């Protein structure tokens, strides 16, 4: 654990909020059912400030006295027998780099003693539920939220190192899945290949549930079932990634289950790749996220028009919403301790000058880490909806679009670090060129054909 990273981040928070006590609670375990708990995941803000991955911890910062105190749970032998040991104060000091570590039962008295000289307490909701701050301190929950959102947007080099690790191991897992997927397997078998590779790389947790979507399932953006059979002739879309010390990658690849893309699949894939490559190149400081999204929509509008799926004026297609029938999400989002990370705080929520709706509209800054992930999808429910067909009949050739239902959906997603100058740094290394993917698939399918020989030659007695 990079203790200096977290100490540096706490210094930045103190500079931003110097006039009040700061109190944050880490996560408590979460009940799944009966007496079974979900795997523990630390609260992202708490992890951001401490790097402590353990449950039931609190952080109190006293900016004026320059004191940072970590509070930890006191556990008994019952806990040790069922769940194992937790670091005590001396061990926690060394592990997490805090000079002051107390058990949680000291929190009310320490809080009272340090309240002297303050009028405010920057505390999160969980902490305010847990302890009643002294009356003289006015809780300032929204200001704390905004300060954290603002700080979390620009990544420190230690954070980028963790995002790079998450992206590298997730990239390796994507390549393994691309090599091992076969017609006849279930989607969850490919998921198992992906997740095993992340575990082998030492990353125990995924950033979000894996999406492994064959054929038409790929048109469902957050498809979760992963239980359909892979068929030759279809595409397989995998949107999956692991996290390193809480920092998540977010990567999508789409490839043919057979050795090659069909002509229609190739047309759509090439278009999405063009939108992705050109959007990555444009992701530079000063550009509004909405402008980046608008650019990707234009590329996709132009491409779908040249394929005969869309018709009419390009800006009418983009602004009127016809493109959104095929590309219903944004170009990307911030990436960090949450896979859909901080939007950058209030001061970065800028008015959107484009006529296309977006959730994320900060002006790009050096060391933002963002995803770039255009997609094109053909969804039966959308294309057969009578209201939609009526409304968009002068913009969409629905018969032509229906021919592309076999494509399902194509999304290509990389994680990039905006640089002070020039094009961003791409953290994702999974192949995405059509030729490269086809050669990986052809090679994989050839080797599985030869693997099959000894199996067949085993004598049956």
Footprint of Mn ion on this chain (CB under 5 A)?
250, 371
**Least CB distance to Mn ion at residue 209 (A):** 13
Can you tell me the distance from the alpha carbon of 251 to that of 413, in angstroms, rounded to the nearest whole number? 5
CA distance 375 to 114: 52
Say which of 145, 284, 340, 363 is annotated catalytic: 340
| Residue of 35, 76, 85, 451 marked active site | 35
Catalytic residue among 239, 267, 338, 341: 239
Q: Which residue has the tokens 């997740």?
A: 195
Spacing of C-alpha 313 from chain mean position:
34
Cβ atoms 244, 231 nearer than 8 A = no
> What is the number of helices (H) and of strands (E) in the chain?
16, 19
- Looking at the Cβ atoms of 137 and 331, the one nearer to Mn ion is 331
Tell me how far, at minimum, the Cβ of 222 lies from Mn ion, in Å: 10
Taking the complex as a whole, the smallest distance from the CB of residue 251 to Mn ion amounts, in Å, to 8
* Closer residue to Mn ion (CB): 187 or 250: 250
Which one of the listed residues 222, 347, 389, 393 is annotated catalytic?
A: 222
Least distance to Mn ion from the beta carbon of 207, Å? 9
CB-neighbour burial class of residue 213 (10 A; exposed 0-12, middle 13-18, buried 19+): buried
The question of whether 234 is a catalytic residue gets the answer no
User: Least CB distance from residue 329 to Mn ion, whole Å?
Assistant: 9
Q: How far is the CB of 339 from Mn ion (least distance, A)?
A: 7
Q: Kindly state the smallest distance separating residue 453's Cβ from Mn ion, in Å.
A: 41
Token pair of 102, please? 């107390």
Please indicate whether residue 379 is annotated as part of the active site: no
Apex CA 298: angle with CA 308 and CA 325, to 5°?
Answer: 60
329 is an active site residue: yes
User: 134 vs 21, 54, 70, 372, CA distance in Å?
Assistant: 11, 27, 19, 46
Annotation marks residue 333 as catalytic:
yes
Min dist CB 426 to Mn ion, Å, is: 15
Nearer to Mn ion, 258 or 375 (CB): 375
Residue 411 is among the residues annotated as catalytic for this protein: yes
Q: Which of 373, 379, 392, 414 is labelled catalytic?
A: 373
Catalytically annotated residue among 413, 414, 415, 441: 413
Q: Which is nearer to Mn ion, 168 or 403 (CB)?
A: 168
Angle at 300 between CA 296 and CA 306, to 5 degrees: 150
For residue 320, the tally of other CB atoms under 10 A from its CB is: 16
CB 255 within 8 A of CB 190: no
Cβ-based nearer residue to Mn ion, 50 or 248:
248
Task: Indicate the residue among 32 and 222 with the shorter CB distance to Mn ion.
Answer: 222
Sequence length of the chain is: 461
Q: Nearest residue to Mn ion, using CB?
A: 250
E strands, 109-185, are 120-123, 138-139
Nearer to Mn ion, 124 or 250 (CB): 250
Q: Is position 293 annotated as part of the catalytic site?
A: no
DSSP code per residue over 374-421: -EEE--HHHHT-HHHHHHTTTTB-HHHHHHGGGG-EEE-BEEEE--SS
- Is residue 340 annotated as part of the catalytic site, yes or no? yes
For residue 144, what are the contacts with CB-CB under 8 A and spacing of at least 6? 17, 22, 24, 122, 123, 124
Burial class of 317 by CB neighbour count within 10 A (0 to 12, 13 to 18, 19+): buried
To the query of whether residue 174 is one of the catalytic residues in this protein, the response is: no
Among candidate residues 302, 411, 414, 441, the one labeled active-site is 411
Please count the other Cβ atoms lying within 10 Å of the Cβ belonging to residue 89: 15
Q: Specify the residue, 45 or 250, whose C-beta has the smaller distance to Mn ion.
A: 250
User: What residues form DSSP beta bridges with 363?
Assistant: 288
CA 320 to chain centre: 29
Distance CA 187, CA 194 (A): 11
- Written as six digits, the tokens of 363 are 């002006």
Whether 291 sits among the annotated catalytic residues: the reply is no
Of 48, 96, 327, 377, catalytic: 377
Catalytic residues: 35, 222, 239, 250, 329, 333, 340, 373, 377, 411, 413
């Amino acid at each position: 654990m990079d203790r200096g990273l977290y100490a540096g981040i706490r210094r930045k928070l103190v500079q931003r909020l110097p006039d009040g006590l700061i109190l944050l609670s880490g996560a408590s375990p979460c009940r799944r059912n009966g007496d079974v708990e979900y795997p523990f995941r630390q609260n992202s803000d708490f992890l951001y400030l401490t790097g402590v991955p353990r449950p039931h911890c609190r952080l109190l910062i006293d900016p004026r006295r320059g004191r940072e105190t970590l509070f930890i749970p006191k556990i008994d032998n019952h806990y040790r027998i069922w769940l194992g040991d937790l670091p005590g104060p001396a061990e926690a000091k060394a592990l997490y780099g805090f000079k002051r570590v107390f058990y949680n039962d000291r929190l009310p008295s320490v809080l009272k003693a340090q309240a002297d000289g303050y009028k405010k307490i920057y505390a999160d909701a969980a902490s305010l539920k847990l302890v009643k701050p002294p009356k003289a301190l006015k809780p300032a929950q929204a200001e704390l939220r905004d300060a954290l959102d603002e700080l979390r947007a620009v990544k420190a080099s230690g954070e980028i190192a963790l995002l790079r690790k998450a992206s590298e191991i997730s990239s390796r897992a994507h390549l393994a899945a691309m090599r091992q997927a076969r017609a006849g397997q279930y989607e969850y078998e490919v998921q198992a290949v992906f997740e095993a590779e992340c575990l082998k790389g030492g990353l125990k947790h995924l950033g979000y549930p894996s999406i492994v979507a064959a054929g038409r399932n790929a048109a469902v953006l957050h498809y979760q079932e992963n239980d359909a059979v892979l068929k030759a002739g279809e595409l397989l879309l995998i949107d999956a990634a692991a996290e390193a010390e809480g920092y998540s990658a977010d990567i999508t690849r789409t490839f043919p289950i057979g050795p090659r893309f069909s002509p229609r699949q190739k047309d759509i894939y090439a278009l999405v790749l063009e939108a992705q490559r050109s959007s990555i190149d444009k992701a530079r400081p000063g550009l509004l996220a909405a402008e980046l999204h608008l650019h990707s929509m234009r590329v996709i509008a132009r491409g779908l028009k040249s394929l005969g799926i869309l018709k009419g004026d390009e800006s009418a297609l983009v602004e009127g919403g016809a493109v959104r029938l095929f590309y219903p999400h944004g170009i990307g989002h911030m990436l960090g301790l949450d896979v859909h990370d901080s939007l950058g705080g209030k001061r970065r929520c800028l008015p959107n000058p484009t006529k296309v709706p977006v959730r994320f509209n900060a002006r790009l800054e050096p060391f933002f880490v963002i995803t770039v992930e255009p997609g094109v999808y053909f969804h039966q429910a959308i294309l057969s909806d009578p209201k939609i067909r009526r409304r968009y009949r002068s913009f969409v050739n629905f018969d032509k679009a229906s021919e592309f239902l076999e494509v399902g959906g194509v999304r290509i997603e990389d994680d990039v670090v905006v640089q002070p100058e020039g094009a961003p740094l791409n953290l994702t290394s999974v192949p995405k060129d059509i030729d490269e993917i086809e050669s990986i698939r052809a090679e994989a399918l050839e080797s599985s054909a030869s693997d099959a020989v000894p199996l067949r030659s085993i004598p049956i007695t």
